[in-house]
Amino acid sequence: VEERFAELKRRLAEIDDLHMAARLAAWDQQVTMPPGGAAARAEQLATLNRIAHEKFVDEAVGRLLEELGPWEASLARDSDEASLIRVSRQDWQKATRVPAELAAEQARVHSESMQAWAVARANADYAAFRPWLDRVLEVKHRYIACFESAADPYDIVLDDFERDMPTADVRRLFGRLKPVLTELAAAATDEVQSWEAGPWPRDPQYAISLEVIRAFGADERSFRLDPTVHPFCTNFSTNDVRLTTRYGEKSFHGTSLFSTIHEAGHGLYEHGVSPTLERTPLRSGCSSALHESQSRLWENVIGRSLPFWRWLGPRMESHFPGVLAGVGAERMHRAANRVRRSHIRVDADEITYGLHVILRFELEQQLLFGGLSTAHLPDAWNTAFEETLGLAVPDDAHGCLQDVHWSLGLFGYFPTYQIGNVLSVQIWDRLLAGVPDADERIEGGDFAAIHAWLRDNLYVLGRKFTPSETIERVVGGPIDPEPYIGYLRGKVAALG
Residues in the site for its own copies, rule: CB under 8 A?
A: 13-14, 17-18, 20-22, 24-25, 28, 32-37, 39-41, 43-44, 46-48, 51, 220-224, 236-241, 278-279
Q: Which is nearer to its own copies, 224 or 315 (CB)?
A: 224
Q: Which is nearer to its own copies, 14 or 67 (CB)?
A: 14
The answer to whether the beta carbons of residues 203 and 256 sit under 8 Å apart is no
Least Å from the CB of residue 150 to its own copies = 36
**Alpha-carbon Rg for the chain in angstroms:** 23
Active site residues: 263
Q: Which is nearer to its own copies, 111 or 342 (CB)?
A: 111
CA distances from 116 to 123, 136, 138, 161 (A): 11, 12, 17, 25
How many other C-beta atoms lie within 10 A of the C-beta of residue 144?
Answer: 18
Q: Which is nearer to its own copies, 32 or 383 (CB)?
A: 32
Cα–Cα distance between 44 and 403 in angstroms, integer? 26
Q: Which is nearer to its own copies, 40 or 60 (CB)?
A: 40
| Residue-wise burial string across 36-47, b where 16 or more C-beta atoms lie within 10 A, e elsewhere | eeeeeeeeebee
Torsion of Cα atoms, 255 then 259 then 264 then 270, to 10°: -160
Q: Which is nearer to its own copies, 159 or 240 (CB)?
A: 240
250, amino acid identity: K
Phi first, then psi, for residue 243 (nearest 5°) are: -100, 145
